[in-house]
């Protein structure tokens, strides 16, 4: 998720916080799983999914801590990729698919119970240019250079949890692979934070060569949802994220003689205010849109009218029609105000970025029984669409998909993603493994024996 948002409904009632499995419990479960796997097939009672999750929980939490301590910026996830490749590749039955995936990975797990559909599961892996301030024993001390600046690097959006949960789910499904027919497509996506990873993988053919899934699933950790809870949003759940950059061109001159100049500072100011009227006066009040001019640069002295001013902004919308409407209105407004001032035509760059997420309502309905069964009805919360961005939407344009929120919140303190203090409760990892395993199994063909 690329913008912290806290638009979800406040959870009602006390959460049923799942306790982290004790070491002894994990070891017992592991011993049980080993004994069952060693038994002759006909005498074997398959370990249930919760027991498998327990048996792999400790290793998967270790993965998360390693990933957390080794965060890497978008498109630079080399160590992360190597780590995930090694761990995934060592899971029985997992096939790593070669391809031009950049710093991502694509892998398959084929079930042993005959034919069945391909079902996709995506997790993102990149970190952010933020200096960590959690004080955790496995906190990041990583630094990198971004735009010529030295920056701290931190998993401040929980993509370390996402990657670990994918590894844990792969372990669980690998141990259970005799029970299903069909194939799980694991998509390890780089560069989500800059909205580049999903399109990179799609262009490289992640869904080609028989890998096009019938449906694709993802989760995102969410700090306003408590541990033990999950959130869902049918339909449009995250925004179209578009950007514009405008160079307002005037005619420079002396600040005392504006009549001999064309003042781009005044023109830019009018543009900023007029852009706000698009949202308040042109877009249907029942629809969502946000225009934010986040950057304005121009001028160097009190008494000099500059040659030009640069404006940069972000536009967030949900529906495709509103997206087009606002784009047209922004361009019209900027050109019109420049023209009215007698200024040269401004240079405008308008970039259509990540489209809005569309959670297929039928698929959402299909995962609700799993969420409710695992977490309890009262812990499955519907949330309202938020204006953040999430590039899982590119996959959802290709095949039906659902992204849901996994609670990592702590009742004792508020947190937000993309902040130096973001410290998701990692006890959510086995919960995520359980949910993803069951969601995927529910769509695969289950063996009848
Ligand atoms: Zn994120």
What gap in Å lies between CA 181 and CA 349, rounded to an integer? 49
Our count of domains for the chain comes to 2
Q: For residue 11, tell me if it sits in a domain.
A: no
The string of DSSP codes covering 182-199 is SEEEEEEE--TTTT-HHH
The answer on 135 and 199 residing in a single domain is: yes
How many residues comprise the chain?
A: 449
Q: Give 296-321 pLDDT, tens digit per residue.
A: 999 999 999 999 999 999 999 999 99
Confidence band, pLDDT 50/70/90 cuts, at residue 448: low
Domain check: are 39 and 156 in the same one?
yes
Is residue 408 scored above 50 in pLDDT? Answer: yes
- Asked if residue 12 is part of any domain, the answer here is no
Q: How far is the CA of 410 from the centre of ligand 1 (A)?
A: 18
User: Distance between CA atoms of 353 and 350, rounded to whole angstroms?
Assistant: 9
Report CA(301)–ligand 1 centroid distance (Å).
41
> Between these two residues, 251 and 445, which has the higher pLDDT value?
251
- Answer yes or no: do 112 and 51 share one domain: yes
Ligand 1 centre distance from Cα of residue 193 (Å)? 7
pLDDT value for 7:
37
pLDDT of 118 reads 98
Same domain, 116 and 195: yes
Last residue of a domain, one of 312, 335, 352: 352
Say how many Å lie between the CA of residue 26 and the centre of ligand 1. 29
Is the pLDDT score of 216 beyond 60? yes
**pLDDT > 60? residue 19:** no
How does pLDDT run across 66-105, given as a tens digit for each residue?
Answer: 999 999 999 999 999 999 999 999 999 999 999 999 999 9
Q: Read off the CATH number of the domain in which 325 is found.
A: 3.30.70.360
Question: How much distance in Å is there from the Cα of 158 to the middle of ligand 1?
Answer: 6
Give pTM, 2 decimals: 0.85
Do residues 201 and 187 touch, judged by C-beta distance below 8 A?
yes
Residues 255 and 342 in one domain: yes
Q: Are residues 124 and 269 in the same domain?
A: no
What pLDDT does 17 receive?
Answer: 44
Residues 281 and 178 both lie in one domain: no
> Domain end: 320, 352, 384, which one?
352
Q: Residues 143-153: what's their mean pLDDT?
A: 97
What are the structure tokens assigned to 381, written together? Answer: 């919360």
Distance 339 CA to ligand 1 centre (A): 41
pLDDT over threshold 60, residue 449:
no
Give distance in angstroms: CA of 307 to centre of ligand 1: 40
Tell me what the mean pLDDT of segment 377-394 comes to: 96
Q: Compute, in angstroms, the gap from residue 156 CA to the centroid of ligand 1.
A: 8
Looking at 319, 352, 385, the residue that finishes a domain is 352
Average pLDDT of span 108-133: 97
Which CATH number is 102's domain given? 3.40.630.10
Q: CB–CB of 71/154 below 8 Å?
A: yes
C-alpha of residue 199 to centroid of ligand 1, in Å: 16
Predicted confidence band at 447 (pLDDT cuts at 50, 70, 90)? confident
On whether the CB atoms of residues 398 and 193 are closer than 8 A, the answer is no
Average pLDDT, the chain: 92
Range of the domain at 336: 240-352
**pLDDT of residue 36 exceeding 60:** no
Confidence of residue 1 (pLDDT cuts 50, 70, 90): low
Residue 2 pLDDT level (bands cut at 50, 70, 90): low
Distance from Cα 249 to the centre of ligand 1, integer Å: 37
Same domain, 332 and 369: no
Give me ligand 1 centre to Cα 393, in Å: 13
Tokens for 242?
Answer: 């578009």
Helix (H, G, I), strand (E, B) or coil at 83: helix
Pick from 238, 320, 292: nearest CA to 1: 238
């Amino acid at each position: 998720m690329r913008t912290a948002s806290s638009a979800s409904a406040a959870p009602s009632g006390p959460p049923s916080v799942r306790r982290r499995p004790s070491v002894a419990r994990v070891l017992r479960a592991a011993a049980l799983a080993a004994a069952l796997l060693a038994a002759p097939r006909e005498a074997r009672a398959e370990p249930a999914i919760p027991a498998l999750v327990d048996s792999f929980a400790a290793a998967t939490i270790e993965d998360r801590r390693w990933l957390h301590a080794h965060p890497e910026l978008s498109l630079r996830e080399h160590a992360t990729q190597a780590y995930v490749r090694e761990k995934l590749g060592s899971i029985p039955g997992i096939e790593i698919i070669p391809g031009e995936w950049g710093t991502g990975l694509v892998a398959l797990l084929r079930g042993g119970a005959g034919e069945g559909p391909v079902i996709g599961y995506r997790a993102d892996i990149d970190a952010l240019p933020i200096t960590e301030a959690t004080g955790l024993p496995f906190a990041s001390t990583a630094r990198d250079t971004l735009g010529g600046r030295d920056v701290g690097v931190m998993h401040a959006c929980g993509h370390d949890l996402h990657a670990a949960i994918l590894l844990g789910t792969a372990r669980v499904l690998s141990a259970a692979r005799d029970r299903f027919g069909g194939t799980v497509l694991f998509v390890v996506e780089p560069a989500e934070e800059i909205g580049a990873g999903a399109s990179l993988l799609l262009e490289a053919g992640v869904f080609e060569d028989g890998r096009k899934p019938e449906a694709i699933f993802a989760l995102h950790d969410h700090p306003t949802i408590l541990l033990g809870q999950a959130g869902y949003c049918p339909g449009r759940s995250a925004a179209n994220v578009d950007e514009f950059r405008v160079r307002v061109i005037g005619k420079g001159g002396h600040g005392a003689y504006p009549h001999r100049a064309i003042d781009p500072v005044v023109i830019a100011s009018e543009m900023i205010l007029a852009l706000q009227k698009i949202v308040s006066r042109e877009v249907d009040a029942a629809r969502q849109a946000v225009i934010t001019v986040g950057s304005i640069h121009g001028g160097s002295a009190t008494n000099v009218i500059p040659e030009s001013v640069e404006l940069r902004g972000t536009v967030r919308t949900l529906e495709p029609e509103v997206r087009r409407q606002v784009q047209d209105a922004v361009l019209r407004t900027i050109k019109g105000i420049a023209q009215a001032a007698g200024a040269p035509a401004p240079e405008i760059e308008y970039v259509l970025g990540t489209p809005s997420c569309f959670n297929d309502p039928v698929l959402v309905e299909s995962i609700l029984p799993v969420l409710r069964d695992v977490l309890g009805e009262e812990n499955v919360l519907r949330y309202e669409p938020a204006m953040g961005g999430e590039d899982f939407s590119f996959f959802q344009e290709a095949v039906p998909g659902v992204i849901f929120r996994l609670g990592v919140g702590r009742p004792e303190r508020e947190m937000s993603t993309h902040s130096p203090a973001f410290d998701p409760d990692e006890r959510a990892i086995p919960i995520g493994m359980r949910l993803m395993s069951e969601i995927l199994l529910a769509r695969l063909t289950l063996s009848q024996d």
